[in-house]
Each structure stands twice: as structure tokens, then as C-alpha cells.
Amino acid sequence: MRTTLRDQAREQSAATPFLPPEGWTRSPRKSTSRFAFEMSRTTNWYRNDGQGTGYFAPGWNSERIAKRAGILRWVGLGLAVLVLVFPAVFLPAQYAEQFRYNHLKSQGVVTSAVVQSVEVEKFVEHRRKTAAKYVTETTAVVAYPVNGQMAEAQIKDRDQEQSNLTSSAQHPPPAWKSGDTVQGYADPKNPGDFAVIDRIKEADSDSLPRGAILTLCFTALFLALPVVLIIAGSRNVKRARQL
């Protein structure tokens, strides 16, 4: 048969009755909760005689123990704030980028742009000991006709490959080279405003950006731990006040 903390405490109290040391204060309440016996077994702030009668060490009472037990709530709140920083930073950027693309798609014209010059930056991001990201960032200047005149704009692309324990990786090739032709949207009222036609942004033009959806999903997932800590801390505070 399974033995609980309560049964163990009662067995110990029957064998060796608890005698509170000098200066300890008897609690006006009786508590036979699991929390009471756990506090009695693991701390020096509180002792329970196994029958529900509790005693507090000098300087301690149920309210002070409740404050100590409530630390989990503050830890949970701190983690929640850290988790929420991620969507607070990335969501506005994702919406702004998609909004700009939607505006050019609805108000602009489709035009062919010729790549004039290209700058390529390659670097490696080490995020874990077992993996590395090989990143290639391409920045190009393109020229295109719009409203009967030639205009120029700068476009950027970021591509990456990731290595792990079972595979290696290398830097992806640049997205463009001089002389390439790309299709995009240009704003006739502001010819310098240009966006390359993007398959993902096209699909997201009438809905939430999928990057925003992923951000919200990951945020909800990582918020689970802070929520558990906050709930556990709140319960511990309530139980401590019943000691």
C-alpha cells in the first residue's frame, strides 16, 4: 500500500511525539494538508506534530511563510515578461512588412527590375554546441521603369543552411547577381518604393502573416511554464496561510 507524507508524519509523531523548542509559537489553526507536512519535513520554519497541530519557529508565522511561498509567482511573472518581449518586438515588424507589401500590391504596378550591383555578406551563427547556421545576406540595387521613367531601389535577401551532428552545411549562394531580372511591385506615386514579388507574402496578403502566426504559437507554448509557476505559487500562498 502506498504511504503518503501524511501517513509518514503520523507514524513519526506516534513514535516520537514532537516537542516544540523554546520560543516556538503554536498555530491557532490545525492543518493536515500535504503542504503542511511537506513544509514540516523540508524547512526549519514550521513543524507539524502529525496530528494537524503546527508550530512556527521564532520570527515566523503563516503570513511570512506565504510570502516566501509566493516567490514562485514572481518568478513566473518575470518569465512571462521575458517571453512576451519576443512578440512585442517581432509582431509589429512582421505586420509592417506585410502591410507595405500589400500596399504596393494594391496601389503599385508590376515591373521588371534589372540588378545593377550586388553586395554579399556571409557569416556563421553559433547558437548551440551541436549546430551552426551558415547565413548569406544579399543586398542589391535594381533599376526599373515606372510611370515612364527609370527608378532605383535597394532589395535584400537572407538565406541560411544549418548543420547538425549528422550533416554539414555551407553558405547558400547569393540571391542575385548583376544582370539578373526580378519581378516586383513599384509605387507610381513614389517610384523609389519597390518590393520583389514574394510567394509567401502573396499567400499572406489576405490573412495574418504566417510569421506572426508562428510567433503567437511559440509565445503560447513558452508561456505555459510561467503560467504553471504562477498557479503553483498562488496555491502555495493560499495553503501557507492555512498553516
Read off the pLDDT of residues 32-76 as tens digits, 9 standing for 90 and up: 888 888 888 888 888 888 888 888 889 888 888 888 888 888 888
Query: Which domain does 236 fall in, by range?
Result: 5-73+229-240
Reduced to 3 states (helix: H, G, I; strand: E, B; else coil), residue 45 is coil
122 contacts: CB under 8 Å, gap ≥ 6 = 134, 135, 136, 137, 171
Q: What confidence tens digit (pLDDT) does each residue in 124-136 have? A: 877 666 677 888 8
Residue 45: inside a domain, yes or no?
yes
Per the model's pLDDT, the better-predicted residue between 17 and 1 turns out to be 17
Q: 115 with 179, same domain?
A: yes
- Average pLDDT estimate for 141-155: 91
Residue 223: inside a domain, yes or no?
no
The pTM for the full model equals: 0.56
Contact 34/25 with Cβ under 8 angstroms?
no
Q: 113 with 67, same domain?
A: no
Q: Which stretches of the chain are DSSP H helices?
A: 5-15, 34-42, 62-69, 71-107, 199-203, 210-222, 224-240
Per the model's pLDDT, the better-predicted residue between 104 and 167 turns out to be 104
In the predicted structure, residue 236 carries a pLDDT above the cut 60? yes
- Average pLDDT estimate for 228-233: 88
pLDDT at residue number 36: 86
The kind and range of the H/E element at 175 are none
Burial of 198 (0-12, 13-18, 19+ CB in 10 A): middle
Q: 53 with 115, same domain?
A: no
Residue 194: inside a domain, yes or no?
no
Q: 59 with 115, same domain?
A: no
pLDDT at residue number 14: 46
Confidence of residue 185 (pLDDT cuts 50, 70, 90): very high
% of the chain beyond a pLDDT of 70: 87
Q: How many domains does the chain have?
A: 2
Residue 206: inside a domain, yes or no?
no
Report residue 237 as a C-alpha cell. Answer: 500562498
Residue 92: inside a domain, yes or no?
no
Report residue 49 as a C-alpha cell. Answer: 506534530
pLDDT at residue number 213: 74
pLDDT at residue number 119: 92
Contact 237/90 with Cβ under 8 angstroms?
no
Residue 137: inside a domain, yes or no?
yes
Contact 209/52 with Cβ under 8 angstroms?
no
pLDDT at residue number 1: 44
Residue 177: inside a domain, yes or no?
yes
Widest distance between CA atoms in the chain? 99
- Average pLDDT estimate for 178-199: 90
Residue 170: inside a domain, yes or no?
yes
Average pLDDT, the chain: 82
